[in-house]
Homo-oligomer: A and B are copies of this chain.
Amino acid sequence: MNTLNDRKTLVSQVAEAMGKRVYNDGAENHKETAPRLELQHESPKLVSLEDAIRRSGLRDGMTISFHHHFRGGDKVVNMVVAKLAEMGFKDLHLAASSLQDVHAPLIEHIRNGVITQISTSGLRGELAKEISHGLMAKPVIFRSHGARGAAIASGELHIDVAFLGASSADPLGNACGYSRSENAKSICGSLGYALPDARYADKVVVLTDDLVNYPNTPNSISEHDVDFVVEVDSVGDSSKIASGAIRDTKNPRDILLAKQAAKVIVNSGYFNDGFSIQTGSGGASLAAVKYIRQSMIDRNIQASFALGGITAHMVKMHEEGLIGRLIDVQSFDKVAAESLKNDPRHKEVAAYEYASKQEQGSATHYLDIVILSALEVDVHFNVNVLVGSDGIIRGAIGGHPDTAEDSALSIIVCPMLRGRIPCIVDEVTTLITPGRTVDVVVTEYGIAVNPNRPEIAERLREAGLHLVTLEELRDRALKIIGTPAPLPFGEKVVGVVLNRGGSVMDVIKDIKE
């Protein structure tokens, strides 16, 4: 029989016509026969941080990225940038989802030319102060969380190498912000802000302090997107997540504001079965959801979903059946992180699924009510959440302009005064969220409703709430503390605020000591 030779000839002819190789049995790898548990830690992806950096192809001038799910407890940014400095890298663009107090060591790396550009949602602490005083030659680019996700997806913000801390990962790169192992050290819950980086960065390095056996499922980052896995001592201190801007407040003024916001929600016309809600960072806004719980029970109302930074309060209401689904781009505490791990109705979403302006399906577009904080609100309802009234950067855009614009009803909770600092002002120091997207401002001296929303004012008035104008609040603040001196801004642009549509919203100038 000659069939074998005929067949080989035909296969060759077809392969040639298709521009493909002929399968060659001998050239194929030897079959690996070791039991797979023995191979766990022989994954070629499992390397040291230095090797991961070297093999990633990172070069001077490129863009590196990080997420901020550990917030003030993050250890990845400092660790990686110290290693990059040690390896002699220069002129890097650091594109983080946000930066915190803990990142003060970056000051040195900026001075030494390792980092020459920063993109972030926020800046706090010493780093923010130094940058406000003119530390960097190039201005920091500020984007909202939705804008960052969209910019990464569209390629406007191209990431060469992403360094993503994970609470657990297997040697192949399946990673997440929780862990099913007993060695779990650092739990952050959702990795929503890291998912755009994982999907779109050229190279992805996962760092973890809990390397578990394959398969680390369920996972949020897939091996498909991961090039290297680096085992480290610690990726973050979980105990520092629920602190700072997302602590559970005991402050009586915050509680007053939260209760007032709850009254606004309940009487707004949007408090109907199937509504959806988000609470932004800041004690009063996070607490507001607590004070609508009883009204939901009384009126037999269930929310279809709660969105955003997910908190223990929301998890509790979800488990009680008051909130149908949780959509989690960032877990604000350990209860939320545990819930995300165990509850299929608690869903992790990438930043672009959360709040991209360009995606019709991003969750913020289906949000009825959002409660947000502010550093300043001006008489045109414009909000500043980034730069202090002293001209120093001390906050983060977060999802503020995303949710204010997309929601049916945006409520800002903001005291009229913080100590001697007026928060209802004539003109915001920095424009973050345009007034046309802000519907209600709740202060301890009354509630102001945007003149664009007369129907809301009418409903609140009918409910007996005390309505004021922002001009009245501004004047009242001025009467108490007097007109503040103009801020001593210099001429250097230290920050540029991009609108979520990609245009330039405002600039931040350096402030003199």
Chain A contact residues, CB within 8 Å of chain B: 3-4, 7, 10-11, 14-15, 18, 20-25, 28, 31-37, 39, 43-45, 139, 153, 170, 172-174, 213-215, 217-219, 222-224, 226, 269-270, 272, 274-276, 304-305, 325, 327, 341-345, 347, 349-350, 352-353, 359-363, 365-368, 405-406, 408-409, 427, 434, 436-437, 439, 452-453, 486, 493, 496, 498-499, 501-507, 509
Contact = CB atoms under 8 A, between A and B. Distances in A.
A361 B504 contact: no
Given A36-B367, A43-B360, A327 B504 contact: no
A327 B274 contact: no
A23 B507 CA distance: 12
Contacts of A353: 222-224
B427 A366 contact: no
Contacts of A20: 498, 502-504
A35 B270 contact: yes
A274 B39 CA distance: 12
A14 B437 CA distance: 24
A28 B501 contact: yes
B35 A345 contact: no
Number of copies: 2
Contact of A342 (B35, B44, B344): B344
Nearest to A455: B33
A304 B215 contact: yes
Contact of A172 (B173, B270, B325, B366): B366
Given A222-B353, A498-B20, A11 B173 contact: no
Given A7-B506, A504-B18, A366 B408 contact: no
A43 B366 CA distance: 10
A498 B15 CA distance: 9
Contact of A325 (B45, B139, B217, B275): B217
A362 B223 contact: yes
A496 B21 CA distance: 13
B14 A493 contact: yes
Given A18-B496, A43-B360, 6 more contacts: A24-B503, A35-B272, A35-B408, A218-B345, A223-B361, A224-B353
Nearest to A405: B31
A52 to B, nearest CB: 14
A347 B434 contact: no
Contact of A344 (B276, B341, B362, B368): B341
Contact of A360 (B36, B223, B305, B486): B223
Contacts of A505: 11, 23
Contacts of A174: 361
Given A21-B502, A36-B366, A503-B15, A361 B173 contact: yes
Nearest to A408: B33
A343 B224 CA distance: 22
A139 B468 CA distance: 76
Contact of A434 (B25, B344, B367, B408): B25
A43 B28 CA distance: 50
Contacts of A153: 224
Nearest to A171: B361
A437 B28 CA distance: 10
A425 B139 CA distance: 73
B23 A304 contact: no
Nearest to A452: B31
A347 to B, nearest CB: 4
Contacts of A269: 35
A344 B347 contact: no
A345 B342 CA distance: 9
A275 B21 contact: no
Contact of A10 (B33, B434, B507): B507
B361 A36 contact: no
Residue in A214, A270, A409 with the greatest tally of chain B CB atoms within 10 Å: A214
Contacts of A4: 427
A361 B501 contact: no
Nearest to A16: B504
Contact of A28 (B172, B226, B342, B436): B436
A3 B405 CA distance: 26
Given A11-B504, A36-B276, A507-B14, A427 B305 contact: no
28 contacts: A4-B427, A7-B507, A10-B507, A15-B503, A15-B504, A18-B504, A20-B498, A20-B503, A21-B503, A23-B434, A23-B505, A31-B437, A31-B452, A34-B408, A35-B408, A44-B360, A45-B360, A172-B361, A213-B274, A214-B366, A215-B304, A215-B305, A215-B325, A218-B345, A222-B361, A223-B361, A224-B350, A224-B353
